[in-house]
């Protein structure tokens, strides 16, 4: 009887530990790792990669990156990558960034700079110039991205505030 009580007690303790870890992982903000790459001599790229889900449950990769050229000039883009064959991004329209306070900003499409064959760009990849928008974003407020797709529909992606904070950290870094 004593061994059964110990077994039940140990099982309950183990169950509570697993439950606590699961809850903490579910509510803890996900932070991205900021990577540093040297693309060419003196040209650095700093990037943060995150995974986002759209309203259909499809997974997207969001890659925010800052490129610093040897002369010190920098650019900041957001690349959104969906699964091939699932969507076709409409590059004639901007990406919309909206916060819960009602502010909406538009990011211009920069996708043409990433494709070597402009006659056949990957339809599931879009790149947007968000450098002019970053100072206007509040890092404590999550965003909703509205990505236009061919056919007049849109893809909606929710961006946690922690991702916005990572983007602003990248943007403000003086590296």
Whose structure tokens read 């809850």? 23
Give the distance, in angstroms, between the CA of residue 105 and the centroid of all CA atoms in the same chain: 17
Are 92 and 113 found together in one domain?
A: yes
Are 48 and 125 found together in one domain?
A: yes
Tokens encoding 10: 């140990």
Are 122 and 103 found together in one domain?
A: yes
pLDDT in tens, 76-85: 999 999 999 8
Are 56 and 115 found together in one domain?
A: yes
Are 99 and 18 found together in one domain?
A: no
Are 126 and 167 found together in one domain?
A: yes
Q: What is the pTM of this model?
A: 0.75
Are 55 and 129 found together in one domain?
A: yes
Are 17 and 53 found together in one domain?
A: no
Are 60 and 22 found together in one domain?
A: no
Distance, CA of 109 to CA of 91 (rounded, Å):
6
Cα three-residue angle 82-59-156, rounded to 5 degrees: 80
Are 157 and 73 found together in one domain?
A: yes
More confident residue, 173 or 157: 157
Backbone angles phi, psi at 165, to 5 degrees: -60, -45
Give the distance, in angstroms, between the CA of residue 114 and the centroid of all CA atoms in the same chain: 18
Which residue range is the domain that position 156 belongs to?
A: 34-172
pLDDT in tens, 102-157: 999 999 998 877 766 656 568 899 999 999 999 999 989 999 999 999 998 999 99
Are 103 and 25 found together in one domain?
A: no
Distance, CA of 86 to CA of 123 (rounded, Å):
9
Element (H, E) at 167: helix 161-172
Distance, CA of 13 to CA of 27 (rounded, Å):
21
Are 18 and 41 found together in one domain?
A: no
Distance, CA of 173 to CA of 111 (rounded, Å):
24
């Amino acid at each position: 009887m004593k061994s059964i009580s110990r077994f039940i007690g140990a099982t309950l303790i183990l169950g509570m530990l697993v439950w606590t870890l699961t809850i903490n992982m579910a509510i803890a903000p996900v932070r991205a790792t900021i990577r540093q790459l040297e693309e060419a001599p003196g040209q650095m790229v700093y990037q943060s990669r995150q995974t986002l889900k759209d309203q259909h449950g499809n997974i997207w990769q969001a890659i925010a990156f800052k490129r610093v050229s040897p002369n010190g000039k920098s650019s900041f883009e957001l690349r959104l990558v969906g699964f091939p064959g699932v969507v076709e991004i409409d590059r004639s329209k901007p990406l919309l960034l909206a916060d819960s306070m009602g502010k909406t900003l538009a990011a211009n499409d920069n996708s043409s700079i990433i494709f070597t064959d402009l006659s056949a760009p990957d339809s599931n990849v879009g790149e947007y110039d968000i450098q002019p928008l970053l100072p206007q974003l509040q890092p404590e407020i999550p965003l909703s991205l509205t990505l236009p797709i061919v056919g007049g529909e849109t893809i909606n992606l929710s961006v946690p505030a922690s991702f916005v904070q990572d983007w602003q950290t990248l943007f403000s870094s003086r590296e």
